[in-house]
Chain A
Amino acid sequence: MTTTDESQARPLPPIPVPDELSAEFWRLAAEGVLATQRCTACGWRAYPPRMVCVGCHADPPGFEWAPVSGRGRLATWTIIRDALLPGFAHLTPYVVAEVELEEQDGLRVVARLHDVPEDALAIGLPLTVQFVDGGEGTAIPVFARADS
């Protein structure tokens, strides 16, 4: 069996399906831009996108998609040794992290870490966003050490 055959047989990671709330996020991600919703009334940022601003409850809600710097700090993590999604089995062990973005307290993104050794994992580790191919034209944010 060749390598190509193996990769064709291998299940793929789930591909995100953009919807009314998320289409702009995935469009910007495909351009290499990480963005969150930002309330036009009070400036509060939301991730993942939501219908109503928890900061001010403006009615009607007014959210815009606003890029972030892509910089943040490691808030917590898990080392996945047994993937429940078949498309990630070949990547184990891999690290899934919550990254707190620098724009707002508590604004956290869940994403895989890229090239961060297990012994470097520590709360507060500076990270920066990168994007990997997510299939069907999508790009998925991952985070790498900010100093690398």
Chain B
Amino acid sequence: MSGRFRAAGEVAIVGFAHSPIQRVADDPLGVLTLRTIREAVADAGLDMTAIDGFTTGALFPSSGGRPLRDGIEIVTSDWIVDQLHVQPRWLCGFQGLGQICGSVILATEAIASGAADYVVVHRAMYNPPGRYHANPMTHASGGDQWSAPHGFWGPPTHMALTYTEYQQRYGATREHMATVVVGGRAAGSQNPWSHWYDRPLTRDEYLSARMIAEPMSMLDCDIPVTGVGAFVLTSKERARDLPHKPVYVAGYAQGRSQSVNGVPPWRLDDVEEGGRAVGRILWENTGLGPDEIDVPQVYDAFSPFVYLWLEALGFCERGEGFEYVQDPGTSPGLTFRTGGGAIGNGRMHGVPQMLECYLQLAGRAGDRQLAGVETGIACQAAPSVGGVVAYST
């Protein structure tokens, strides 16, 4: 049995829209999401009545001890359908990590199977008042009892354990990481909708950034924002009649390798092993290899993810990511800088990666358009537990 994805090239992105990325939005998140979806549908040259499928992965990572309200902190596709007061042929939510990848995978399968013809994939991100991951809990139940009573709380601290082990094992330093973060911000500073528009960063600013959970500083984490990205997908046949050059889904892989012992979700050995499994699945699924990818958009919401994804997908060897990113001349992986990623845009959970793949492959990247690009990948979350989607022209 072949591991090749039979629907490769059958489903295309045909339009997009992006809201401004702001710390505090001018409108409620639900309103902003509806508006962005309408703009994406118009961008695709379609009328809202053509849309017969909706999906998202609505997970919001900051509990803060508060309840989540649909339309305010999160926006599900069910909420969108309720507001539009329509009966879609297909409506589905993605559960799990790698939310935007998971949504695209669901949409692709729905269109390839004929369950829907035109699907809107959206992702709405919210920046809550107060500190993003701060939590006033007095008691720790369930899984929290193994972390919170130890003063261990929040994804940056989880990443810090992974990053320390990586640094110690391979010799990576913050000077190495400065290249990643300064590069992301340089690209983001050119991007009109970025939170960091016109605000590049110097190496010295990075190296003197305030530490949260050493070795993770403020600037190793993307900044929490409110914003929405939306995409319209349809079949290759229907895409031919629409105004923009289609960008096809070429295949994908998802990681589901949780650690079997211990508390943090991203133990280095497990991320490396699970990530390489995801890489094998991706290349078998797409029939491509890392050398053939023109626009590798690796995930960077926490800066060490850049190394871990590049290594997992075979752009470089295990433990060499931190050296690989230093040389833009020989490192195709550095084209992740073109869109700025999460570090250059804000905490948009994989939207910057997918969007940059789309814009570059559709020839819509404006001043930063690369020449002759035909393939891209967009990653989200940790290689071992997230997802990656490959695109082609």
By a beta-carbon cutoff of 8 Å, the part of chain A in contact with chain B is: 11-19, 22, 45-48, 54, 75-88, 91, 93-94, 96, 98, 104, 106-112, 122-123, 134, 138, 140, 142
Asked if A15 contacts B213 (CB within 8 A), the reply is: no
1/0 contact string of B204-238 vs chain A (CB within 8 Å): 00000011111110000000000000000000000
Asked if B263 contacts A16 (CB within 8 A), the reply is: no
Asked if A22 contacts B263 (CB within 8 A), the reply is: no
Q: Which of B148, B216, B263 is close to A85, meaning CB atoms less than 8 Å apart?
A: B148
Q: A17-B139, A84-B134, A87-B138 are in contact. List 16 more A-B contacts (CB 8 A).
A: A14-B144, A14-B148, A15-B140, A15-B149, A17-B140, A19-B141, A48-B263, A76-B161, A77-B161, A78-B216, A79-B211, A81-B213, A84-B133, A98-B267, A109-B262, A110-B161
* Chain A residues within an 8 Å CB radius of B136: 11, 86
Nearest first, the 5 closest Cβ-Cβ pairs linking A and B are: A78-B160, A108-B262, A79-B214, A76-B165, A14-B140
Asked if B165 contacts A14 (CB within 8 A), the reply is: no
B152 at the interface (CB under 8 A from A): yes
A45 to B262, CA, bound (A): 11
Task: Report how many A-B pairs have Cβ atoms within 8 Å.
Answer: 139
B292 at the interface (CB under 8 A from A): no
Q: Which of A45, A83, A91, A98 is close to B264, meaning CB atoms less than 8 Å apart?
A: A98
Say what secondary structure dominates the interface of chain A.
mixed
B151 at the interface (CB under 8 A from A): yes
A140 to B135, CA, bound (A): 20
Q: Which of B149, B157, B162, B210 is close to A13, meaning CB atoms less than 8 Å apart?
A: B149
Chain B nearest CB from A131 CB (Å) reads 12
Q: Which of A16, A22, A81 is close to B211, meaning CB atoms less than 8 Å apart?
A: A81
A15 to B141, CA, bound (A): 9
A43 to B165, CA, bound (A): 28
A83 to B214, CA, bound (A): 12
Q: Which of A13, A15, A18, A76 is close to B151, meaning CB atoms less than 8 Å apart?
A: A13
A111 to B151, CA, bound (A): 8
Asked if A16 contacts B267 (CB within 8 A), the reply is: no
* Chain B residues within an 8 Å CB radius of A112: 150-151
Asked if A140 contacts B143 (CB within 8 A), the reply is: no
Asked if B151 contacts A48 (CB within 8 A), the reply is: no
A57 to B139, CA, bound (A): 32
Asked if B260 contacts A81 (CB within 8 A), the reply is: no
Q: Which of B139, B141, B146, B161 is close to A78, meaning CB atoms less than 8 Å apart?
A: B161
* Chain B residues within an 8 Å CB radius of A85: 134-135, 137, 148, 151, 153
Asked if A110 contacts B213 (CB within 8 A), the reply is: no
Chain A nearest CB from B351 CB (Å) reads 25
